Chains A and B, each alone.
Chain A
Amino acid sequence: MKFTLNGGTRQARDGQTVLDAARAAGVDIPAACAHEALEPYGACRLCIVEVRERGKKRWRVVTSCLYPVAEGLEVRCDTRKIRKLRAFLLELLLARSPNAPYVKELAARYGVSKTRFSRLDDDCILCGLCVRACAEVVGANAIGFSRRGIGRKVDSPYGIDHSKCIACGVCTFVCPTGAVQMEYARVMELRAQGGEHLCRYTLMGFLPDAVCSLNYECARCEIDQKYRAEAGTHPLVARALALKSGVTGKGAPRKKASRGRKPAASRAKRSSGRRRG
């Protein structure tokens, strides 16, 4: 499928989003809430581009992470209008998270260094990466959003219920601003529950009791670091990516001594379609 990107003709696969196609063509579009292992979400709005469908006159501003490429679609990524809109969005983000390096850096790239809005000083930009990673990558559903509008925040049910958290750390891994941190207390509680420690690799298959016979604290876990170095990403993210690209069973690092477990592919097939509430 052919489409036009900043004036040049490019190839795209059927069903690809504009963001993916642009990135594949080497054009960088900033996006805070997009992650290769997760479904597109369209929360941050930073990935806006101008598009014109074939046969249409009007240019429209759309979020490229949600917009599917179509035959003959024209895309402009870096027009003055887009830069202006994006700068405004960054100004809003900067008002919310004035101390988050990620936001500051991104804003600086668009010439935004100060904001006209009152500051909130909350590092969470509500991109939903942690919430979606917890649901889609891990399947634990330990955290979600609560309340709405200016009160919206990432929360566990009733604000204190962490019974679903497996302490896998994917949320802290995907968080762009460092707003999500593992509660040390939670890790300690899991440890206090006895020798049968459920580690973050539980969902990659039960790793029965082996992992923390070494008595690692999760933050200093060597196995964790080894897996991460091997995969170049969080192991659970690596697994999700592998499942997504269809290369089942490969890509996701697994413990070598599999002790009669079934291969990861048969165990962890993604449930069909997206979860709907």
Chain B
Amino acid sequence: MGRIETIRAIETSLESRRAAAGFATTPAAPDAPAVETILDRHGRASAQIIAILQDLQEQHRYLPEPELRYISRQLDVPMTRLYAIATFYKAFRLEPRGRHEVCLCMGTACHVRGGERVKDAIERSLGVAAGETTADMRFSFETVRCLGCCGQAPVMTVDGKIYGKLDHLTVGAALESHT
């Protein structure tokens, strides 16, 4: 038995024993056909792993665990490696994200024009801190460094749409329009 087969055999036997002993096994099945499409697009090459994860994230807005485990098995890339990559790059997320992505600028111009207060207002109205997602999965709130339109400071984007010259009074209405 080769090295890989040995490891596979151990994994299988470990997994079945975990199940038999009532321990949690791998949750939820992945959406295999969708992942397969992504894998095929990148030639099923483990060297393309970052591009593959990017595509996966585009689909789900985050990297779901079952999909990651599926990729790990298909490409023979250890889960530890995928987890290392997913946690190394800030662009990758392992937590589910809200339907709308709110990015508030914390750059110099926006800071001077009261970005900090807008941040407080958003946090109050959504009930989450920066980096978190609301319980109803409607919004994910993120602070960023600069959105590149300092003339409109303070600025936020919701799903890429720019809202400028905000203050703590107008920000609520801007958020309300996104359901």
Q: Which residues of A contact B (CB under 8 A)?
A: 131, 134-135, 139-148, 155-158, 161, 163-164, 166, 189, 192-194, 196, 198, 202-203, 206, 262, 267-271, 276-277
Contacts and interface: CB of A to CB of B under 8 A. Distances in A.
Contacts of B46: 276-277
**Interface SS of chain A:** loop
Contacts of B4: 271
B162 interface: no
Contact of A139 (B1, B7, B15): B7
B17 A194 contact: yes
Contacts of A144: 78, 80-81, 83-84
A134 B4 CA distance: 14
A203 to B, nearest CB: 6
B179 interface: no
B169 to A, nearest CB: 37
24 contacts: A139-B6, A139-B7, A140-B7, A141-B79, A141-B80, A142-B80, A143-B80, A144-B78, A144-B80, A144-B81, A148-B87, A155-B87, A157-B82, A158-B83, A164-B78, A166-B10, A192-B21, A193-B20, A269-B2, A270-B3, A271-B4, A276-B47, A277-B49, A277-B77
B78 A146 contact: no
B178 interface: no
Contacts of A277: 46, 49, 77, 81, 85
Contacts of A134: 80
B15 to A, nearest CB: 7
B60 to A, nearest CB: 16
A141 B81 contact: yes
A95 B4 CA distance: 40
Contact of B80 (A147, A157, A166, A262): A157
Contacts of A202: 10
Contact of B14 (A157, A198, A267): A198
Given A147-B88, A267-B2, 4 more contacts: A139-B6, A157-B80, A157-B83, A192-B21
A39 B6 CA distance: 22
Contacts of A194: 17, 20-21
B87 A146 contact: yes
B6 A268 contact: yes
Nearest to A151: B87
Contacts of A262: 1
B73 to A, nearest CB: 12
A157 B69 CA distance: 10
A134 B78 CA distance: 11
A164 B81 contact: no
Contacts of B47: 276
Contact of A198 (B3, B10, B23, B87): B10
